[in-house]
Amino acid sequence: MLRHCDASHFTLWFVSREPLSELQLTLGEQSYPLAEEEVHCVPLGQHAFQYLLRLSRPELLAPQTVIQYRVSAKGIDDLFNHVEALGYGDANSPHLYLSQTLTQVWHGSCRNPHHHSEDALVAADTKLAQLIDKGANERPALLMLSGDQVYVDDVAGPMLCAIGQVIEKLGLHHEAFHGANIAGSEVLSYRPEHLYLRHKNLLPRTEYPAKTALWRWYINHPIFTSSIAENHLVSLNEMIALYLLTWSPELWEFIDLPKEVEGLSAANQLRWQREWQNLLAFKAGLKQVRRLMAHIPVYMMFDDHDITDDWNLTAKWEQAAYGHAFSKRIIGNALIAYTLFQGLGNAPNQFDTEVRPLLDGFFAHPAPETQDDLIDQLLKFEQWHYTLDTSPKLVVLDTRTRRWRSESNLAKPSGLMDWEALMDLQQALLGQSKVIIVSPAPMFGVKVIEAVQRMATLMGASLLVDAENWMAHPGAANALLSIFMHRKTPEQFVILSGDVHYSFAYDISIRFRRSSPNIYQITCSGIKNQFPEKLLPLFDKLNGWLYGHFSPLNLFTKRKRMSLRGRRPNGERSKRLVNQSGIGILALAEDGEPTKIAVLHGDMTETQFEPPRQE
């Protein structure tokens, strides 16, 4: 997988079953023996070694040029030579096409392996193959994955069994637990009769009395609030195995997953077969997904399911989760896995001082003490966000760990970013004429859905409906809107978001101002997930009736100073929301204005969001 790449940096991520030495990177015709500091190796287990190669040189990569790359090691001339279907066309090795000017960006979020929808990354690979045949100039500059790259809290029964087999085959490290009803990860069972039960007999519960207007919050309420947490992962080795199974086809060849198993209830037997069928389709596309990620620089940011549902949604949830030793370990394990498989490749230098020494120390000598030290550091780490020095500038937000907690009621949703984080965002924007902001959750959501979430919050059920949006917290909402209204902020804003499992696009301007910045919000979700099919059309119609462009109800919302116009998918008159898995395609003009906003679906059809009619 290609990670952070620009004119002076080349970053490559891969996992090997054996330790490697004397690594050498070849870019085009130039070979570079890699020094110790340029090779970051993490021994994940006895037969799994993660490598992050980081080469930095002035003018290392020529822009707008196809650059073949390969890696050799002691005794191995080309590590990727025998990797099946890794090149496009007749190419024997993968290549990179670098563009610092973001004329085209692909983006998306929410890829759930056992969901019945099609994997849009497979369609993206097919699309890239077509573009390469036509000529390199039409290729995307990068692939932005803005959240829920894995679902730690929503794991299929067959996937959990596959995870158990991977742990054994790769010899992934086990760990001891504190505050759990089992001693450690070696006791975890992957037998069919123990599937779909973790929410009842394993996951931690609160240890204080509380209640809501719905009378459903009581002593010993589950801390992990996902409604589909029956197979919620808990150990670090499980999460490492999940990432490997989500991104690469190799391990699936050694997995034995029968269509029918004994020991399940009748309902879970049907569930197993449905998930098994969906995972077969998911597995079939992984070679294409791997090829795609080997040819485009990939950038990522976490959202809730990368860690757990409702992660840091309220201050009350944080008190319960971090005050319990076992739930803190589960969250910490997910953060370690995110760091390994996603975070390190985004902006490697940001982790060198505070994180990498503890990370390397833990994997060199796995122990409860070193694991707890690493988790404590990750929980207070504040450099998950990053920017790219591209044109337009790309600003990727962390909307999960620097929350603006409610002061009036700890059970109310927290703001997605606190005051300091929002001021950092404003400083990153000042002086820029054009910018792309990546926010995992939409900054401007579907108002009728936000109204439902607000009503649930008033009844004390914010966790029940995932009531987290930018407008849910007054302080965060007002600060965000003030940033857009600041006269020194960019003339062209493009906001990329996901999270919600449907796609839509807004053209936004500031009311009552002659020279308003041009703001475009593009939400693409999910890559392999969808909103409940029967419910979304109802919300779409209600939102059009109640909060359409000319509705006076808009004057009673927090965003009343902003004018929002929904783009029309394929020119449809009244529809604004698209409920089909896909990958977003954004094309930009030289001044940063979008010239194409579209979603490529798994069946290779495209939905184009056309500008609103001028009335």
- Phi (first) and psi of residue 572, to 5 degrees: -65, 145
Distance separating alpha carbons of residues 90 and 87, to the nearest angstrom = 7
- What does the mean pLDDT of the chain come to? 92
Please say whether the beta carbons of 606 and 120 come within 8 A.
Answer: no
Over the range 429-462, which residues count as b (16 or more CB within 10 Å of their CB) and which as e?
beebebbbbbbbbbbbbbbbbbbebbebbeebbb
Residue pLDDT, tens place only, 37-67: 999 999 999 999 999 999 999 999 999 999 9
- pTM of the full structure: 0.95
Please choose, from the candidates 487, 556, 495, 491, the residue with its C-alpha nearest in 3D space to the C-alpha of residue 521. 495
Distance separating alpha carbons of residues 515 and 492, to the nearest angstrom = 12
Residue pLDDT, tens place only, 531-561: 999 999 999 999 888 888 888 887 778 788 8
pLDDT of residue 217: 42
Is 80 exceeded by the pLDDT of residue 213?
A: no
Q: What is the CA radius of gyration of the chain?
A: 24
Distance separating alpha carbons of residues 98 and 91, to the nearest angstrom = 18
Residue pLDDT, tens place only, 358-394: 999 999 999 999 999 999 999 999 999 999 999 999 9
Query: Which class for 79: exposed (0-12), middle (13-18), buried (19 or more C-beta within 10 A)?
Result: middle
Q: Classify 90 as helix, strand or coil.
A: coil
Please say whether the beta carbons of 519 and 493 come within 8 A.
Answer: yes
Please say whether the beta carbons of 578 and 607 come within 8 A.
Answer: yes
Q: Classify 234 as helix, strand or coil.
A: coil
DSSP letter, residue 612 = P
Chain center to CA of 160: 20
Distance separating alpha carbons of residues 566 and 551, to the nearest angstrom = 13
| Token duo for residue 349 | 């230098």
Please say whether the beta carbons of 190 and 163 come within 8 A.
Answer: yes
Q: Which domains, ranges and CATH numbers included, belong to the chain?
A: 9-149+384-610 (3.60.21)
Query: Which class for 590: exposed (0-12), middle (13-18), buried (19 or more C-beta within 10 A)?
Result: exposed
Q: How many residues does this entry show for the chain?
A: 615
Residue pLDDT, tens place only, 434-483: 999 999 999 999 988 887 877 766 666 666 666 678 888 889 999 999 99
